[in-house]
Structure 1
Amino acid sequence: MFERFTKEARAAVAGAVTFSQGAGEGGITEEHLLLSLLDQDSGRAAFALAALGVTDRRASLQAALGEARRLGGLTKADTQALAGLGIDVGEIVARIEEEHGEGALAQDGRVRRSRSGRRPLTAGAKGVLEGSLRIAVGRGDRFIGGEHLLLALVARPGVVADVLAEHGASYATVERALYGAGREGGGGAAGAAAAG
């Protein structure tokens, strides 16, 4: 699949590896892919993120991602649903951190480095790459670019998509920023379904 990646998309994956290494994590996550896309200063994904003002709100976005990690990866919708059942996630996290230390839920150890020494992709990151292929094919594009990675990130349910949506980057707004209103073929709900 990587042979179909554009220079921009390959740079995004390489940047995600760097973010993973810098964080001392064993694997490459969706968050690393997003942070790498945010670092790019050219290309379609960089244009869309800038047009939506996401790059200007990077600190806020990173704080929201950090808080989600602190909550063990629960999305805002998850915490609201649990609150509706009378479960105070903040209280539970506070008790866990009191007993095991700050950020105890963020240290999940789900990914271990492969024997080759390479950092593997988490299931979520693999899903983003697979989703980007489906989105590219669905749009009739021969190559997978950073824009396809970005669309796959916002289409895949989870913390990264939720945080991006809170910062103005939903599937619909990203698609509009990339392709304009009313583009025919492969977009919209069909594109979002292809990524999930």
Structure 2
Amino acid sequence: MFERFTPGARTVVVHAQEHARRLGHHYTGCEHLLLALVSTDQPASSVLREHGVTQTRIEEEIVRLIGLGAGSPPFGSLDRDALASIGIDLDAVCARIEESFGPEALARAGKTGPRGSRPSRLDPRRGIPPGLLRHWRRRRRARHTLLTATTPASPGLHPATGARTTGHIPFTDRAKETLADAVREAQTRHDPHIGTEHLALGLLATKGGLVPSLLSALDASAPALRAAIVDRYRRAD
């Protein structure tokens, strides 16, 4: 999915994690996506700011509603949904392997040795089914593609106290659904890419979570914002 994201949209997703980390939250939610979105220089972001949805106001409301986190949890924060359906946290397994044997350990183990040679003890066939290894590699490539944003996130107003969460911060189910909604918005409009405008429309379609509460606190109407964003991009075309 992320390979279709424009550089601007990738930046929003990366910065959402940075904002979550800065605020001491152990997850990346729709509120963090919205905070990152309003901080960019994209047309969709400009529309939001013109209607009073600014970074300062959004961050203040996030802190008012849920507060600042305390920093890193005792055992870190890893994406637990890869194989949750069968009770396996693939990212955690891979992280432990790489911690013990170094970066790219699984990739090295997957290489075919000389005929008749003994398989490496890290050979994925001996610990991880080939299908799951391919799944992990696809996730790794997608994450590498995503983490190409070069501009740092805005420093914001409220750094959390304590040690910051390190590594990948998992997206909430609602945030994942919002990213999927962004893809559907692009498909509906027959756009070959997924841009910040699609992320904005996906966020504005969210019915639960903090986004509706944030917009309500700022006296911003989701339907009005949606219409304004669509109109801005229609005129640009």
TM class by shorter chain equals 0.5 to 0.7
Q: 1:117-146 deviations in whole A, cap 9, x for unaligned?
A: 422111111011011111111122111111
Tell me the C-alpha RMSD between the 2 structures. Answer: 2.8
Give the TM-score normalised by structure 2: 0.53
Give the TM-score normalised by structure 1: 0.63
Identity among equivalent positions (%) equals 33
Q: 1:38-71 deviations in whole A, cap 9, x for unaligned?
A: 211x21221211221322xx4443333333326x
The 3-state SS of whatever aligns with 2:28 is: coil
Aligned partners of 2:204 and 2:226 also within 8 Å: no
Q: Which residue of 2 aligns with 1:32?
A: 32
Structure whose residues are more often helix by fraction: 1
Q: 1:88-125 deviations in whole A, cap 9, x for unaligned?
A: xxxxxxxxxxxxxxx89xxxxxx942324422111111
Superposed structure 1 runs of 4+ greater than 6 Å apart: none
The 3-state SS of whatever aligns with 1:54 is: coil
Greater Cα radius of gyration, structure 1 or 2:
2
Q: Which residue of 1 aligns with 2:146?
A: none
- 1:113 aligned residue (75, 78, 101): 78
Residue 12 (structure 1) aligned with residue 12 (structure 2): yes
- 1:68 aligned residue (46, 65, 69): 65
- What 5-or-longer segments of structure 2 have no aligned partner? 70-75, 80-91, 96-166
- What 5-or-longer segments of structure 1 have no aligned partner? 71-102, 105-110, 184-196
Aligned partners of 1:6 and 1:144 also within 8 Å: yes
Matches within 5 A, 1:36-185: 36-40=36-40, 42-55=41-54, 58-69=55-66, 112-114=77-79, 115=92, 116=95, 117-158=167-208, 159-180=210-231
Higher relative contact order (CA 8 A, sep 6+): 2
Q: 1:5-30 deviations in whole A, cap 9, x for unaligned?
A: 11110000010111122123222111
Aligned partners of 1:27 and 1:113 also within 8 Å: no
Give the CA deviation at 1:168: 4.3
Q: 1:131-189 deviations in whole A, cap 9, x for unaligned?
A: 111111112211111111111111111221232244244332122222229x7xxxxxx
| Matched residue count | 143
Amino acid at match of 1:31: E
